[in-house]
Amino acid sequence: MISNDSLEVRGLTRTFGELTAVDDVSFTVPPGLLTGFVGGNGAGKTTTMRMIMGVLGPTAGEVRFGGAPLTLADRRTFGYMPEERGLYPKQPVLDQLVYLARLRGISAQVARAEVLDHLDRLGLAGRAKEHVEKLSLGNQQRVQIIAALMGSPRMLVLDEPFSGLDPTAVDGMVDLLAEHTARGVPVLFSSHQLDLVERLCERLVILKSGRVMADGAPAELQAGGTERHRLVVGGDAGWVRGVPGVHAVDVDGNVALLELVDDAAVQRLLASALERGTVQELTPVRPTLAQIYREVTA
């Protein structure tokens, strides 16, 4: 069944004594899209996710799902990977995952088949009977992810699901998440790995000191960021530093990365370059997500 429900966070606020850890945060996680939740240490990501999952009560604001206030019954149908990993160290992987899947209301037989399939896909087929504590941290992380994905959840809230995973596990995890988004499931995941977020996310929410600094599709955010130009000339490009309206971000031999104040600066730059010799390249460069992140959180 394809879902068409959005998760909406509206004016969510949480204080701890004097500290406002989450400050009037609003954003939407649309159906079928991977939404990345990004911010530095202490920005308020985990606190927001805990409020979404009802682990922590909000000081103000609300969370809605499918157009109505989020209920406990809704939350039971969500897959949640908390920051504090909650596996029992002394229980075998398979038993534990089947137990957790059955809490979502699926039969033992279906749960077992689903768990074995996921263990296989994340490279843990041979470890099903081992106690969780015997697994490496990265493999425990894989088990934790599987626990969140069991039983066709209607929403996924994943706190740092990619941390500690090797590239193969990241790819396996990305494939699994794509199956959920294909069913229309909204997915919210936090991450510090901007390269991964740039690769995966269709939407992005950037948080700083408990506040939303940017929210949108990566291309939208990139369009609003500071455009740069890359210039490649025949000789040394050090002279660009003297051109009015041109800010040299980086000059390395004959290659320069530049910010230009206006179109006239582009013409001045080009004229100066041609006066000095050949121009091999002058192209606009879209800002990377890392650059946008630095701009909006500066």
Ligand X SMILES: Nc1ncnc2c1ncn2[C@@H]1O[C@H](COP(=O)(O)OP(=O)(O)OP(=O)(O)O)[C@@H](O)[C@H]1O
Residues in contact with ligand X by the rule CB under 6 A: 16, 19, 21, 39, 41-47
Q: Rounded to whole angstroms, how far apart are CA atoms 149 and 79?
A: 6
Write down the least CB distance from residue 194 to ligand X, Å: 13
- The number of residues making up the chain comes to 298
Kindly report the number of other CB atoms within 10 A of residue 28's CB atom.
17
Token output for 84: 């504090």
What minimum distance in Å lies between the beta carbon of 83 and ligand X? 6
Both tokens of 132, joined, read 């969780």
Torsion of CA 298, 222, 42, 167, to 10 degrees: -130
Alpha carbon distances (Å) from 272 to 42, 98, 199, 239, 240: 47, 69, 37, 9, 8
Closer Cβ to ligand X, 54 or 123, answer by number: 54
CB of 16 to ligand X, least distance (A): 3
Question: Closer CB to ligand X, residue 45 or residue 142?
Answer: 45
Q: For residue 185, give the amino acid letter.
A: V
Please say which residue, 128 or 200, places its beta carbon nearer to ligand X: 200
Q: Closest distance between ligand X and the C-beta of residue 42, in Å? A: 4
Nearer to ligand X, 172 or 210 (CB): 210
Q: Which residue has the tokens 């068409």?
A: 4
Query: C-beta of 98: minimal distance to ligand X in Å?
Result: 30
44 or 151: CB nearest ligand X: 44
